Amino acid sequence: MGNNTVRTQQGGKITALYCRLSVDDGGEAESNSIQNQKEILSRYAKDHGFMNTKFFVDDGVSGTVFNRPGLDAMLAEVKSGRVGTVIIKDQSRIGRDVLEVGLLKRTFDECGVRLISATDGLDTAKGFDMVSIFRDVINEFYVADTSAKIRAVVKAKALNGKHFDPQPPYGYKPSENDKFVWAIDEPAAKVVREIFRMCMNGMGPVVISNKLRANGLKIPMAYKAERDGTTAKLNLRHPDTKWSQGTIAKILKNREYTGAAVIGRITTKSYKDHRSYLKPEDEWIIHENSHEAIIDKETFDIVQRIRQGRRRSDKLGDLGVLNGMMYCANLT
């Protein structure tokens, strides 16, 4: 009879079974695998008489992010009035942000949708559940605590001169023994040296990029993909030899080509705000002689003066050989 009552209340509406997994789950990843969640939710729906089930899945999305394909698709169904019940494995699956989860619960309530957490005992059909609010707080605390620990580990590695990005810049490659130790990738390093030489000879990024393209040299992304046997995500409208001015400029200002490890340039505001930003230069952690240099420091410094000095280029982007390196004396 209980099953028949559920079917009547559903009125033919969808029973949404929502699953989410991300790196936030840490050591719980196995128990929270998408497959495990699907099995738990399917069994729960069957045992409690919920019919017309439909899965909505977000795999690899943080619980602090609420613009998720699976969640968005489910909310569209909820707001259209086609969902009767939403079932999740536990409350952390819906999210790990107290405020955002509260807004989701309000949306479900306003749309007349019943929310059930299969393993937590939450069922909004039974009325207000104070304990569920404490669970939401604990779920957010878990992410905040994990984020703090990760930042501490990253900072410790940085202070020890350890790279924590296994993808070194063009010109380098992970060493055979340790992916966080950089080794020179000679074919690419040769191109990097040529880019610096051309800049020293007064050529601007426009001319340099055109020369590299004319020589049939592949852009860094395409070169790395070919080297590593992977597929590069290229813009199909352009050939893989179309070097951009921005790529050239980025190479010319990268201090890591002098052998220095420049760590901690990019960060995020917090575990809630995933947007990245460039930290002030005085907050970077720099270790000299961390890896083998491609460009000597004198050459690098001269190129920086050329690039930073006030200068005008012609229509082709060419500069005088001494441009940015020669200044007028103060005669006053």
pLDDT for 4 beyond 50: no
Rounded Cα distance between 165 and 311, Å, is: 35
Q: What integer pLDDT is reported at residue 314 of this predicted model?
A: 47
Q: Minimal CA–CA distance to 284: which of 261, 268, 303, 301? A: 261
Counting residues of the chain whose pLDDT is more than 70, the rounded percentage is 72
The answer to whether 176 touches 232, Cβ cutoff 8 Å, is no
Distance of CA 185 to the CA centre of its chain: 25
pLDDT for 114 beyond 60: yes
CATH superfamily of 2-143: Resolvase, N-terminal catalytic domain (3.40.50.1390)
> Start-end ranges of CATH 3.90.1750.20 in the chain?
160-308
Rounded Cα distance between 200 and 214, Å, is: 20
Phi, psi of 169 (to 5 degrees): -70, 160
Q: Which pTM value belongs to this model?
A: 0.51
Residue range 150-169: mean pLDDT, rounded? 68
> Start-end ranges of CATH 3.40.50.1390 in the chain?
2-143
Based on its alpha-carbon atoms, the radius of gyration of the chain, rounded to whole angstroms, reads: 28
The answer to whether 286 touches 299, Cβ cutoff 8 Å, is no
The answer to whether 34 touches 59, Cβ cutoff 8 Å, is yes
Residue range 38-57: mean pLDDT, rounded? 95
| Inter-CA distances, 106 with 38, 72, 90, Å | 25, 15, 18
Question: Strand, helix or coil at 81?
Answer: coil
Q: Based on the number of CB atoms within 10 Å of its own CB, is 171 exposed (0-12), middle (13-18) or buried (19 or more)?
A: buried
The per-residue pLDDT for range 262-315, each reduced to its tens digit, is 876 666 665 566 676 677 777 777 888 888 999 999 999 999 999 987 444 444
**Strand 83-88 relative to strand 14-21: parallel, antiparallel, unpaired?**
parallel
Q: What integer pLDDT is reported at residue 131 of this predicted model?
A: 77
DSSP label at residue 223: H
| Inter-CA distances, 171 with 5, 133, 191, 197, 257, Å | 67, 52, 8, 15, 8
Residue 273: what residue type? D
Rounded Cα distance between 320 and 96, Å, is: 57
Tokens of 48: 């409690």
Q: Which CATH architecture has domain 160-308?
A: Alpha-Beta Complex (3.90)
Question: Strand, helix or coil at 157?
Answer: helix
Phi, psi of 136 (to 5 degrees): -65, -40
pLDDT for 3 beyond 50: no
Cβ count within 10 A of residue 331: 4
Rounded Cα distance between 274 and 77, Å, is: 27
Q: Whats the size of the chain, residue-wise?
A: 332
